Amino acid sequence: KKNAQLNNLRFEMAQIQRDQRSRPDDLPQAIKAVLDDNALEMRYQPKVDLRSQRIKSVEALVRWPVDHAQVLATNLLIDVAEQYGLIEQLTMQVFNKVLQEVASWEKKGLHVVVWINLSARLLALPQLPKMLERCLNVWNMPASAIGLEVTESAFIHDIEHTTALLFELKRLGFRLSIDDFGTGYSSLAYLRRFPIDELKIDKLFVQGMSNSQQDKQIVQSIIDLAHNFSLSVVAEGVEHEETLNTLRQMGCDDIQGYYFAHPMRGEQLLGWCEEFHHRT
Ligand code: C2E
Ligand code: MG
Ligand code: MG
Ligand code: MG
């Protein structure tokens, strides 16, 4: 049972090693050039509300430009951007692109909250709330249109500072979610300490459920934990109907994964949502 997971892990490790071996020395420069060209692309993946069968929100995922000679996986892009001090510029670009797109969807009658991934390192930046606020003003959008997905690793450094920052982001009106919940240095203390709205169950557990009773129990525990704290809970990485049905029985609120949709271009989203709502 654990074999599948182990294989998965081995596969991921091999992939990372391969990525690093083929990593050119000028990768940071290549990233800088793409950033300066404002050339990053965005994709959007719906979060399906199981109870209403409606799309109330989507997650924004950054992509290296598809027509670029080089190919670069998102995880590696983020890693290198973090290491070379480019993550601030990357995040601002993502925010601007997302807000511009949300504004255009609103005009066409598509109202969805967009969740944006926030690098853990950015939570160390005291000017982060101001930066995001300025961005919202430029596009004339309310913070309530945006959710921020943060991983647990953001919380292990300076607890006092992180707490203050999260409260400031919350005060501005952003929704907050803990991404990849259960894989980091989980401390239950922050569930009562931080002003969060949602837990996001890592796909490792979600996908493990099909052959691991333990993963099933972990997922059920996270769902119950979230609900006991009046938080919403979403499962990522759902690829099969069986997993979907299990999560529904377990009381999971939202579902995300290839079963419903791969991350798609902003132009496709309106049509996709219309078709989905028509179908269900
Ligand atoms: P994440 O936020 O945990 O996102 C989930 C990842 O799982 C995404 O990979 C998504 O494309 C993928 N995924 C979605 N559904 C399925 C499924 O059913 N099966 C499988 N196997 N995978 C699925 P992606 O887009 O490559 O992003 C990887 C990570 O990079 C993200 O993990 C997030 O931590 C980070 N990231 C992505 N976009 C941004 C961004 O704009 N800013 C920052 N700071 N980080 C980002
Ligand atoms: Mg995420
Ligand atoms: Mg995740
Ligand atoms: Mg992840």
The ligand whose atoms approach the alpha carbon of 57 most closely is 2
| pLDDT above 70: residue 10 | no
Least confident window among 18-27, 67-76, 146-155, 159-168:
18-27
Does the Cβ of 74 fall within 6 Å of ligand 1?
A: yes
Residue 234 and residue 196 in contact, taking contact as beta carbons nearer than 8 Å: no
Render pLDDT for 129-142 as a digit per residue (tens, 0 to 9). Answer: 999 999 999 999 99
The phi and psi torsions of 134 (rounded to 5 degrees) equal -65, -40
**pLDDT value of position 16:** 55
Does the Cβ of 258 fall within 6 Å of ligand 1?
A: yes
Give the closest residue (by CA) to ligand 1 atom 35. 75
Percentage of the chain with pLDDT > 90? 78
The ligand whose atoms approach the alpha carbon of 74 most closely is 1
Give the closest residue (by CA) to ligand 1 atom 41. 62
| pLDDT above 90: residue 198 | yes
Band of residue 53 on the pLDDT scale cut at 50, 70, 90: very high
Residue 230 and residue 265 in contact, taking contact as beta carbons nearer than 8 Å: no
CA of 61 from ligand 1 middle (Å) equals 6
Does the Cβ of 84 fall within 6 Å of ligand 1?
A: no
CA of 262 from ligand 4 middle (Å) equals 15
Does the Cβ of 235 fall within 6 Å of ligand 1?
A: no
Q: Which is the closest atom of ligand 1 to the Cα of 238?
A: 18
Separation in Å, CA 130 to CA 95, 137, 146, 270: 13, 11, 15, 31
Q: What ipTM, to 2 d.p.?
A: 0.98
